[in-house]
Amino acid sequence: MTALPAEVYQKRYYTVAEWEKLPENPRYELIDGELVLMARPSSDHQSVNMGIAGQLWYHLRGKRCKVFSELSVRFHENDDTIFVPDLIVVCDRSKIMKNYCIGAPDLIVEIISPSSVRIDRILKLNRYYLEKVREYWIVDPMYQIVEVYQWDNGLCLPRIFGSEERVKVGVLDDCEIDLSLVFPEPVEEETPG
Which pLDDT value is given to residue 106? 97
Low-confidence ranges of the chain (pLDDT < 70): 1-9, 153-155, 186-193
pLDDT of res. 5: 46
DSSP bridge partners of 107: 89, 135
The pLDDT of residue 187 is 57
Architecture, CATH, for domain 39-181: Alpha-Beta Complex (3.90)
Name the E strands within 32-121: 34-37, 66-69, 72-74, 87-90, 100-102, 107-111
CA–CA distances in Å: residue 3 to residues 24, 72, 141:
18, 21, 24
pLDDT per position as a tens digit, 89-99: 999 999 999 98
Find how far residue 47's CA is from the centre of its chain: 14
Residue ranges of domains in the chain: 39-181
In this prediction, residue 193 carries a pLDDT of: 57
